[in-house]
Structure 1
């Protein structure tokens, strides 16, 4: 079974979770993505968020929220995602950049709009008290 190692930024505002839709995808994902060779968590998450949303994460507030595993959406059968989730403050206003076509804030009632790993991250955010 193949496993994709990814990192994600879990950001809530007004009780809703920030998600993105990348070009050609039907479901929403969390900002983040695959690590480059040799990248640690901070480097990978901050780079991905800067590339996708144009915001700078704040190192002093960066913390792990949890690691989850789920079926990978839009990948070959039996592919799973190992997603390390992080929270942290930021500078700037998120806006779609690069391969991101849309940003959207969603709540638990909109769970079906999310890819499987992002659904699990939504649950993690609810359990962590980040969403209303």
Structure 2
């Protein structure tokens, strides 16, 4: 460890499910938060991407992701929302087929399908994904 390295906040390592319906991106708002985030979260110790994202989506939205349908979408690093220390979030994003209708559960207060015009309702990582999807012609 070099001098001063403790001044750097740890990067948040997270997983996200990219789900587009009717040219809008599924986003969720946690109880007590104003911004809409990509559904997903952090892995448990020893958990891989597929298992971790399946667990998080089941907990947050009550749907089952099909592990065999996972497709890598993007890995991105952006400033994390809600941290004054400037820490970053490293987000690995996947698309996947699912069973069930996404509905908020647990810590999720609200789920919404957002267009790129609503990107200001999201933190930087969500805004970037919306831009990527809009540039690819997948969201309005």
Partner of 2:4: none
Alignment partners' CA distance in 2, 1:30 and 1:99: 14
Structure 1 unpaired stretches of 5+: none
Contact kept? 1:32, 1:49, Cα under 8 Å? yes
Match among 92, 115, 122 for residue 123 of structure 2: 115
Normalising by structure 1, report the TM-score.
0.94
| Alpha-carbon spacing, 1:40–1:130, altered in 2? closer, same or farther (3 Å) | farther
- Contact kept? 1:58, 1:89, Cα under 8 Å: yes
The equivalent of 2:24 in structure 1 is 16
Unaligned runs of 5+ in 2: 1-7
Whole-Å Cα distance in 2 between the matches of residues 42 and 128 of structure 1? 24
Per-residue CA distance 1:68-110 (angstroms, 9 max, x = gap): 0100001232210000000011000000000000000000000
Which residue of the other structure, out of 46, 51, 67, is the alignment partner of 2:54?
A: 46
Once residues 53 and 39 of structure 1 are traced to their aligned partners in structure 2, the CA distance between those partners, rounded to angstroms, is: 19
Instruction: Give the counterpart of 2:93 among 85, 90, 108.
Output: 85
Distance 1:88 1:14 in 2: 16
**Offset of 1:129 from its aligned partner?**
4.3
2:72 pairs with 1:64: yes
For 2:5, the equivalent position in structure 1 comes to none
Q: Number of aligned residue pairs: give it.
A: 132
How far apart in 1 are the matches of 2:94 and 2:131?
14
Which has more radius of gyration?
A: 2
